């Protein structure tokens, strides 16, 4: 069996919805590949575009940003709307850097949607695995040299 | 209400509207506009002589009787059962206030000289620690759905009108009569008018099933008329409610399962209700003398304005939004502002009492503590870096950021009591001047870096499998 590529994916999850969903997916022992590392933020509105670029620059092969469902689920009234406005700009920015759109996923998963989170982890890991490693860190370093 | 009016520590500001709310938990500053009632509250004894004397004999529709009776320009609100029981002069109806021409018989009639036509709007300013919102609901206006023919016949009435009709203090002293003054022989009650309906409100208004059962009981009891209830489902959810439903069934009320589709008024005034009996799978047409529409509870028509004055949010159906549907049902997302009763969602009396009592207890426990607990995860502005662009101010969902002018420019500053620490302002600050405590950029960057220093869990699993 040829060795399978293990992508490294960073997920920025809001404390109230998607982080809860991920927690409950774990507690419910839903099967999911161990390729996603989660960074908890209080609100998806806290996610700066710089966090996503930083993750790619450090060697991530894929990034997930997920918060509460619009319009009304946000714990902070409307932080998810700010995410809604920012993330398309991030998509445009990543395209300019030459990063495939398939490496970045953003959306909404409520605290009750543990299965949806597990399913996202499975499908996104598979999707990034097919793209192969991004090697952005190596490329950045070689350019510096 | 009477007890609240008498309580030495409760100040009632009736006939008033909240104009402006500023500040935060523990330090609210509220501006209230008191409309003139043209009656001196201290002098008025509530005798009602002015109402007797008022020359506006034909009167205006009495809102307390849902327009079924008329009142004059000077009147005692709620048919003399209001709190405080003082007269008021309706400036939109009063001939003197409207046209400046009137014999002013009320002035003469008033023994205590309480009437004062010179009264003007008054702004009352209050400093309070907490705000409890109990603004109630509005009734759905059934004329918005033309299929019910509301307004085409005086015998097509809504739940509130029936309530007045059967009330001992109502226009008929509690007798259930048609507009022609006769006892009805056949009465239809149509459930879910304005609720569970995609053309009006999708939500279940919760109280209508039970009040309709009560109406059916009252009609049977007082008139012996045949009662037909058109329902989709009966939601008898509370303590002893199912038992009451069974009792009404045994009283001989005809229950027709199926939404009352249409109410028709024939040329001779005969009212016909058309529906489908879904149990039998047949359409039904029933001629009746009276139709009672079980209208839904809706958010107050000015709920949007009240929400923006108070800085609280509303749910998709227009009612005020609670902080958590199960665990914090009477809190809002603004600390120090609480919700009581039907301004939050449709509720029946026991639920309203429970909700309001809980909200009052929560308010008292907040005030008696004398200090508030705040979360350490707040945003903080670095004055040295802030360029005063004000980007953050518009983004804050809690209006926690204000601008402090310093000469020509200024800096933003975060009120830590109001800030909930969502970090939206931090992400947006172009100067990087705002830090989210415990979620700072350095901390998150370090987290990201750290994640790439340790082997990926997937690789660890592989190693473990090999060894």
**What is residue B231's three-state secondary structure?**
strand
Would residue B374 count as lying in a domain? no
Instruction: Please indicate, yes or no, whether residues B241 and B359 belong to a single structural domain of this protein.
Output: no
Would residue B268 count as lying in a domain? yes
For B180, residues 6+ apart whose C-beta sits below 8 A from its C-beta are none
Instruction: Please indicate, yes or no, whether residues B177 and B83 belong to a single structural domain of this protein.
Output: no
Whether B331 has its CB under 8 Å from any CB of chain A: the answer is no
Whether B420 has its CB under 8 Å from any CB of chain A: the answer is yes
Please enumerate, as own/partner, the contacts of A137-145 that have beta carbons within 8 Å and a separation of 24 or more. Answer: A137/A57, A137/A58, A137/A59, A137/B452, A140/A57
DSSP assignment, residue B108? H
Q: Is pLDDT of B333 > 90?
A: no
Q: How many domains does chain A have?
A: 1
Count A/B contacts: CB-CB distance under 8 Å: 90
Would residue A3 count as lying in a domain? no
E-only strand ranges, B219-351: 226-231, 254-257, 260-265, 271-277, 282-288, 290-295, 297-299, 337-339
Q: Which of A8, A72, A77 sits opposite B456 (nearest CB)?
A: A8
Q: Is the peptide bond before B84 cis (omega within 30 degrees of 0)?
A: yes
Whether B315 has its CB under 8 Å from any CB of chain A: the answer is yes
Q: Which of A51, A72, A76 sits opposite B444 (nearest CB)?
A: A51
- Identify the domain containing residue B264 by its residue range: 138-298
Q: B299 burial class (0-12, 13-18, 19+ CB within 10 angstroms)?
A: buried
User: Is A58 in Cβ contact with B448 (below 8 Å)?
Assistant: yes
Would residue B327 count as lying in a domain? yes
Distance CA B350, CA B352 (A): 5
Whole-number percent of chain B with pLDDT over 90? 73
Would residue B9 count as lying in a domain? no
Residue B398's pLDDT band, with cuts at 50, 70 and 90, is: confident
Residue B422 and residue B367 in contact, taking contact as beta carbons nearer than 8 Å: no
Distance CA A121, CA A130 (A): 14
Would residue B12 count as lying in a domain? no
Dihedral (CA of B244, B245, B246, B247) sign: positive
Average pLDDT over residues B388-395: 89
As a whole number, the mean pLDDT across chain B is 92
Would residue A2 count as lying in a domain? no
**What is residue B211's three-state secondary structure?**
helix
Q: Which of A33, A48, A54 sits opposite B458 (nearest CB)?
A: A33
Would residue A49 count as lying in a domain? yes
Domain boundary among B85, B120, B155: B120
For B333, residues 6+ apart whose C-beta sits below 8 A from its C-beta are A76, A77, B312, B313, B321, B323, B397, B398, B420
For residue A74, CA distances in Å to B131, B313, B323, B403, B421 come to: 23, 12, 10, 26, 13
Would residue A143 count as lying in a domain? no
Would residue A32 count as lying in a domain? yes
Would residue B465 count as lying in a domain? no
For A137, name the nearest residue in chain B, comparing CA atoms only: B452
Instruction: Please indicate, yes or no, whether residues B276 and B144 belong to a single structural domain of this protein.
Output: yes
Would residue B132 count as lying in a domain? no
- Identify the domain containing residue A88 by its residue range: 9-138
Residue B118, token pair as written in the block: 């010179």
For B385, residues 6+ apart whose C-beta sits below 8 A from its C-beta are B431, B432, B433
* Each residue's pLDDT tens digit, B175-217: 999 999 999 999 999 999 999 999 999 999 999 999 999 999 9
Distance CA B201, CA B208 (A): 14
Instruction: Please indicate, yes or no, whether residues B293 and B309 belong to a single structural domain of this protein.
Output: no
Would residue B26 count as lying in a domain? no
For B214, residues 6+ apart whose C-beta sits below 8 A from its C-beta are B244
Would residue A134 count as lying in a domain? yes
Distance CA B190, CA B296 (A): 11
For A47, name the nearest residue in chain B, comparing CA atoms only: B427
User: Is B458 in Cβ contact with A58 (below 8 Å)?
Assistant: no
Whole-number percent of chain B with pLDDT over 70? 100
Cα three-residue angle B325-B23-A82, rounded to 5 degrees: 55
> At CB < 8 Å, which residues of chain A contact B?
6, 8, 10, 33-35, 37, 39, 41-43, 45-48, 50-51, 54-55, 58-60, 71-72, 75-79, 82, 86, 137
Residue B446, token pair as written in the block: 């370090």
User: Is A51 in Cβ contact with B449 (below 8 Å)?
Assistant: no
Residue B155 and residue B161 in contact, taking contact as beta carbons nearer than 8 Å: no
Residue positions counted in chain A = 145
At residue A129, the pLDDT reads 92
User: Is B377 in Cβ contact with A46 (below 8 Å)?
Assistant: no
Count Cα atoms within 13 angstroms, Cβ side, for B24. 18
Distance CA B421, CA A76 (A): 9
Radius of gyration of chain A (CA): 15
CB-CB neighbours of B131 under 10 Å: 20
Average pLDDT over residues B442-457: 88
Q: Is pLDDT of B128 > 90?
A: yes
Average pLDDT over residues B109-116: 93
Instruction: Please indicate, yes or no, whether residues B174 and B287 belong to a single structural domain of this protein.
Output: yes
Q: What is the CATH number of the domain that holds A70?
A: 3.40.50
Would residue A1 count as lying in a domain? no
Instruction: Please indicate, yes or no, whether residues B290 and B315 belong to a single structural domain of this protein.
Output: no
Q: What is the CATH number of the domain that holds B270?
A: 3.50.50.60
Point out the residues of chain A with pLDDT beneath 70.
Answer: 1-2
Q: Which of B427, B449, B457 sits opposite A46 (nearest CB)?
A: B427
Residue B189 and residue B228 in contact, taking contact as beta carbons nearer than 8 Å: yes
Instruction: Please indicate, yes or no, whether residues B205 and B227 belong to a single structural domain of this protein.
Output: yes
* Each residue's pLDDT tens digit, B249-301: 999 999 999 998 999 999 999 999 999 999 999 999 999 999 999 999 999 99
Instruction: Please indicate, yes or no, whether residues B261 and B182 belong to a single structural domain of this protein.
Output: yes
Distance CA A1, CA A5 (A): 12
Instruction: Please indicate, yes or no, whether residues B151 and B254 belong to a single structural domain of this protein.
Output: yes
For A41, name the nearest residue in chain B, comparing CA atoms only: B439
User: Is B447 in Cβ contact with A72 (below 8 Å)?
Assistant: no
Q: How many domains does chain B have?
A: 4
Would residue A4 count as lying in a domain? no
User: Is B462 in Cβ contact with A46 (below 8 Å)?
Assistant: no
At residue B399, the pLDDT reads 84
Instruction: Please indicate, yes or no, whether residues B114 and B152 belong to a single structural domain of this protein.
Output: no
- Give the bridge partners for B127, in sequence order: B29
At residue A2, the pLDDT reads 55
Q: B158 burial class (0-12, 13-18, 19+ CB within 10 angstroms)?
A: buried
Residue B328 and residue B322 in contact, taking contact as beta carbons nearer than 8 Å: yes
Instruction: Please indicate, yes or no, whether residues B155 and B265 belong to a single structural domain of this protein.
Output: yes
For B311, name the nearest residue in chain A, comparing CA atoms only: A77
Instruction: Write the DSSP string, A64-129.
Output: EEEEPPTTT--TTSSHHHHHHHHHHHHHHHHHHHT--GGGEEEEE--TT-HHHHHHHHHHHHHHHH
Q: To probe the interface with A, which of B427, B433, B446 has the most A CB atoms within 10 Å?
A: B427
Instruction: Please indicate, yes or no, whether residues B253 and B162 belong to a single structural domain of this protein.
Output: yes
Among the residue ranges B77-86, B184-193, B254-263, B357-366, the one predicted with the least confidence is B77-86
């Amino acid at each position: 069996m040829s060795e399978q590529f293990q992508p490294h994916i960073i997920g920025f999850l809001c404390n109230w919805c998607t982080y809860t969903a991920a927690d409950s997916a774990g507690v419910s022992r839903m099967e999911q590949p161990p390729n996603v590392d989660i960074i908890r933020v209080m609100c998806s509105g806290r996610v700066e575009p710089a966090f996503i670029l930083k993750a790619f620059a450090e060697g991530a092969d894929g990034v997930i940003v997920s918060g509460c469902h619009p319009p009304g689920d946000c714990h902070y009234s409307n932080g998810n709307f700010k995410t809604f406005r920012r993330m398309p700009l991030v998509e445009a920015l990543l395209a300019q850097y030459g990063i495939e759109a398939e490496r970045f996923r953003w959306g909404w998963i409520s605290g009750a949607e543990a299965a949806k989170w597990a399913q996202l982890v499975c499908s996104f890991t598979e999707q990034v695995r097919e793209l192969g490693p991004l090697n952005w860190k190596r490329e950045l370093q070689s350019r510096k040299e | 209400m009477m007890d609240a009016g008498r309580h030495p520590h409760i100040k009632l500001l009736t006939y008033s509207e909240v104009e402006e709310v500023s500040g935060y938990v523990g330090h609210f500053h509220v501006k209230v506009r008191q409309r003139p009632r043209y009656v001196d509250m201290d002098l008025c004894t509530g005798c009602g002589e002015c109402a007797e004397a008022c020359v506006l004999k034909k009167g205006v529709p009495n809102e307390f009787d849902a327009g079924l009776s008329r009142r004059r320009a000077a009147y005692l609100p709620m048919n003399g059962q209001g709190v405080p029981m003082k007269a008021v002069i309706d400036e939109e109806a009063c001939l003197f206030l409207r046209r400046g021409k009137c014999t002013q018989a009320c002035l003469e009639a008033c023994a205590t000289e309480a009437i004062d036509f010179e009264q003007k709007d008054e702004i009352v300013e209050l400093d309070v620690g907490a705000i409890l919102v109990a603004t109630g609901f509005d009734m759905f206006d059934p004329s918005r759905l033309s299929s019910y023919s509301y307004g085409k016949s005086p015998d097509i009435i809504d739940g509130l009108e029936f309530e007045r009709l059967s009330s001992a203090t109502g226009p008929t002293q509690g007798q259930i009569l048609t507009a022609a003054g006769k006892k009805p022989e056949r009465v239809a009650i149509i459930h879910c008018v304005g609720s569970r309906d995609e053309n009006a409100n999708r939500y279940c208004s919760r109280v209508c099933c039970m009040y309709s059962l009560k109406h059916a009981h009252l009609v049977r009891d007082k008139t012996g008329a045949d009662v037909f209830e058109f329902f989709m489902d009966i939601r008898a959810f509370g303590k002893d409610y199912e038992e009451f439903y069974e009792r009404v069934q045994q009283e001989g009320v005809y229950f027709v399962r199926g939404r009352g589709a249409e109410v028709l008024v024939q040329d001779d005034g005969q009212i016909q209700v058309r529906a489908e009996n879904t149990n039998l799978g047949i359409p039904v047409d029933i001629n009746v003398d009276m139709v009672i529409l079980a209208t839904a509870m809706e958010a107050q028509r000015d709920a949007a304005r009240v929400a923006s004055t108070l800085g609280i949010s509303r749910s998709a159906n227009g009612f005020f939004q609670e902080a958590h549907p199960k665990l914090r049902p009477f809190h809002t997302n603004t600390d120090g502002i609480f919700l009581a009763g039907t301004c939050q969602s449709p509720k029946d009396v026991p639920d309203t009492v429970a909700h309001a009592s809980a909200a009052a207890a929560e308010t008292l426990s907040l005030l008696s503590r004398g200090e508030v607990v705040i979360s350490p995860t707040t945003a903080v502005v670095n004055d040295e870096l802030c360029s005063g662009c004000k980007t953050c101010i518009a983004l804050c969902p809690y209006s926690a950021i204000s601008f402090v002018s310093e000469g020509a420019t200024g800096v933003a500053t975060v009120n830590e009591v109001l800030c909930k620490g969502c970090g939206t302002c931090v992400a947006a600050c172009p100067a990087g001047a705002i830090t989210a405590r415990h979620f700072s950029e350095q901390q998150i960057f370090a987290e990201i870096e750290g994640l790439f220093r340790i082997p990926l869990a997937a690789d660890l699993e592989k190693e473990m499998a090999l060894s």
